[in-house]
Structure 1
Amino acid sequence: MFQIVWILIIGLVLGLLARLILRGPQSIPLWLTMLLGAGGALLGNAVSGWIGVRHTSGIDWIRHLLQIGFAVALVALVAPAWSRRKVH
């Protein structure tokens, strides 16, 4: 249970960072920002493990940059689609 809370907190932080990095308004709700940030964290961890830089002797800068990069990419892809959706 505690791990899920941490995933959501990290997802919120990464999602908000992604929204700050992108230009212009992103009209997506906070819960979607959190989920996209968590998705970016999971993708960043997977790719960093795949290329062999997930665990280093110091701070895992490459892993963190990959997480932020994937979060930015997810927000950039989902935000326009979310704003174009039709609400009845």
Structure 2
Amino acid sequence: MEISGLISAVLIGFVIGAVGRFVVPGRQHIGILWTLVVGIAAALIGTALAMVLGVANTDGVDWAEWLIQIGLAALGVAALSRMDRLS
């Protein structure tokens, strides 16, 4: 992966993680680094899932892919926040 690809992954991961965190109601007890990690993972897994479902490459904005990624990020943020409260 080139440096531009890495920077893009981090930026997209940050946006996906932030939106996923915004979607989860209440206060989340995880830091910005975990939000970034969850966002990057959600972006990568969401893209793969969108490819399997056949909605990854469409004309215009890939809304279905974004919704999958944001949903996965919200699940990840909620899971990490819940794990932090349990420990």
76-85 or 48-57: bigger deviation: 76-85
Moved over 2 A (4+): 82-85
- Structure 1 segments unaligned to the other structure (5+ residues): none
Deviations along 1:23-82, whole A, 9 cap, x unmatched? 111110101100101111111101100011110122111111111111111111111112
Give the structure 2 partner of residue 29 of structure 1.
Answer: 31
Percent identical among aligned pairs is 32
Question: CA separation in 2, counterparts of 1:58 and 1:33?
Answer: 27
Report the residue type matching 1:80 in the other structure: R
TM-score, length-normalised on structure 2?
A: 0.89
Question: How far 1:83 moved relative to its partner?
Answer: 3.4
2:25 maps to a residue whose letter is: R
TM-score by length of 1: 0.88
RMSD of the alignment, in Å? 1.1
Unaligned runs of at least 5 residues, structure 2: none
